[in-house]
Amino acid sequence: MSSLKIFNTLAREKQPFVPIEPGKVRMYVCGMTVYDYCHIGHARVMVVFDLVQRWLRTSGYEVTYVRNITDIDDKIIKRAAENGESISQLTQRFIDAMDEDAAALGVCKPDHEPRATAYVPQMLGLIEALEKNGLAYKAADGDVNYSVRDFAGYGKLSGKSLDDLRAGERVDVNTGKRDPLDFVLWKASKESEPDEVKWQSKWGSGRPGWHIECSAMACDLLGEQFDIHGGGADLQFPHHENEIAQSEGAHGHAFVNYWMHNGFVRVDNEKMSKSLGNFFTIREVLEKYDPEVVRFFILRAHYRSQLNYSDAHLDDARNALTRMYTALKDVQPDGAALDMQEAHALRFAEAMNDDFNTPLAVAVLFELTNEVNKTKSPALARQLAGLAGIVGLLQRTPQQFLHAGAPGQEADGIEAMVLGRIEARTQAKQAKDFAQADRIRAELLEQGIILEDKPGGVTEWRRA
């Protein structure tokens, strides 16, 4: 089997993956800020890095996977005030919703899912180390800021010089900063803010800035230097750049060996945004599409490429997944263990080891699908189901997928209704009332049910 190569954003090239500790991988991924329902961009982050940890484990590594939860943030405070609820009530509600969405998409729970509010002491410790090293200062407004120009390596992840850089979206430019690029480590409390978001420190009452949260949680759970740090491309600057500055500025050595960033999600070739009216939450998408179809849609694109969301692409993903399930419906796997030395498995592994090249891996699954349809080989059906299972696909029975609509449409009554109409159609055909038989087929098709007549007079059905 070929060895794994990962595109390292820091190096701007694919590099052979060599873990710090042989046989073990420590990976941190920036998770969600929980003040609203997760959107399709969050779905991509969750599915992409779920794929990464699955392949690492399949490759024999012992993986420690951490994905954090940001449960303290300006937007959270604002939304809780608007709703008239506590911070903890708001965040717990959306953490529960996030867990439901992730489970529907077949995303495994991370090994650790730290919440920022539980790591404030570690954050304060990091800020003290930065102050001691001359990289943090208290401003006149009470905030503690990071002095960007005093960290020699700033800009190495984004590849920009200090003069080119601008303060990022979440970096408030205010008169208390020595330099507009400086970012906040500790925010002084405002009287209007609830006590829930006030912690005591040597700099006075306040709360952590966004960037320091991930540095503290990652270092506490994975050590001062670890193997892989991932997240969306939108986090490369300023968030990940600032994480490097904080962590390396505090500890005096490298922070992360491999940086991975998944590409943006666009909607009908436009940037997804609420202002454009093309913003979709995961649960809105799952009202229309089976969650496995959404997962498959995400995995068909390479994680570093832009992903263009559209109904046409989701419909195509559903049809393609239907083809694979249909092959397994007609040919049962033989029950033996997956053979990773078989020709298709070797090509699948080669694709996955080439920076998680899922388009090529999926192409191998389609080759297998065609072979299963042609040869009716139970051994190849086993390879198809087994390889797909590595990336979290084809884990239901074919009937469960082919009979399922969107969530909430899988009631037993649907199946009973369809079987009743199939029986009525069979009786009509036996009575040579072919017009009635055609009407029943057409009526079911209007309801999204496709009938397939098989040899021996058997009629099977599936969702359109």
The DSSP element (H or E) to which 447 belongs, if any, is: none
Binding annotation for Zn(2+): 30, 214, 239, 243
Binding annotation: 30, 214, 239, 243, 274
CA atoms within 13 A on the CB side of 373: 11
341: how many CB neighbours lie within 10 A of its CB?
8
pLDDT bucket at 412, cuts 50 / 70 / 90: low
DSSP 341-397: TSHHHHHHHHHHHBT--HHHHHHHHHHHHHHHHHH--HHHHHHHHHHHHHTT-S-S-
Binding annotation for ATP: 274
pLDDT above 60 (res 170): no
> Alpha-carbon distance 102 to 337, whole Å?
28
> Alpha-carbon distance 143 to 176, whole Å?
8
**337 in Cβ contact with 387 (< 8 Å):** no
Q: Which pTM does this prediction carry?
A: 0.90
**162 in Cβ contact with 149 (< 8 Å):** yes
**454 in Cβ contact with 422 (< 8 Å):** no
pLDDT bucket at 377, cuts 50 / 70 / 90: very high
88: how many CB neighbours lie within 10 A of its CB?
12
> Alpha-carbon distance 435 to 432, whole Å?
9
- The pLDDT value recorded for residue 405 is 63
> Alpha-carbon distance 148 to 164, whole Å?
13
Ranges for all domains in the chain classified under CATH 1.20.120.640: 267-402
> Averaged over 167-196, what is the pLDDT?
80
> Alpha-carbon distance 387 to 8, whole Å?
26
pLDDT, tens digit, 9 for 90 and up, residues 31-57:
999 999 999 999 999 999 999 999 999
Ranges for all domains in the chain classified under CATH 3.40.50.620: 5-262
Specify the CATH class of 267-402 in words. Answer: mainly alpha
- The pLDDT value recorded for residue 421 is 84
Give, in degrees to the nearest 5, the angle at Cα 160 between 156 and 163.
Answer: 120
pLDDT, tens digit, 9 for 90 and up, residues 244-294:
999 999 999 999 999 999 999 999 888 887 778 788 999 999 999 999 999
pLDDT, tens digit, 9 for 90 and up, residues 328-366:
998 999 999 999 999 999 999 999 999 999 999 999 999
DSSP 222-237: H-SSEEEEEEEGGGII
pLDDT, tens digit, 9 for 90 and up, residues 201-210:
999 999 999 9
Tokens 């990071």 — which residue?
146
Q: For residue 19, how far is the Cα from the chain centroid?
A: 23
pLDDT, tens digit, 9 for 90 and up, residues 135-169:
999 999 999 999 999 999 999 999 988 877 654 44
Residue 323 backbone phi and psi in degrees, to 5: -60, -45
Could you give the C-alpha distances from 392 to 54, 81, 281, 384, 395, in angstroms and in order?
8, 39, 21, 12, 7
| Mean pLDDT across the chain | 92
Give, in degrees to the nearest 5, the angle at Cα 121 between 119 and 127.
Answer: 105
**Comparing 1 with 3, which gets the higher pLDDT?**
3
Q: What is the dotted CATH code of the domain comprising 5-262? A: 3.40.50.620
Of 19-28, 67-76, 450-459, least confident by mean pLDDT is 450-459
Q: Hey, what are 220's tokens? A: 């506490």
Nearest to 265 by CA among 219, 298, 223: 298
Question: What is the side-by-side order of every strand in the sheet holding 226-232?
Answer: 62-67, 24-29, 226-232, 256-262
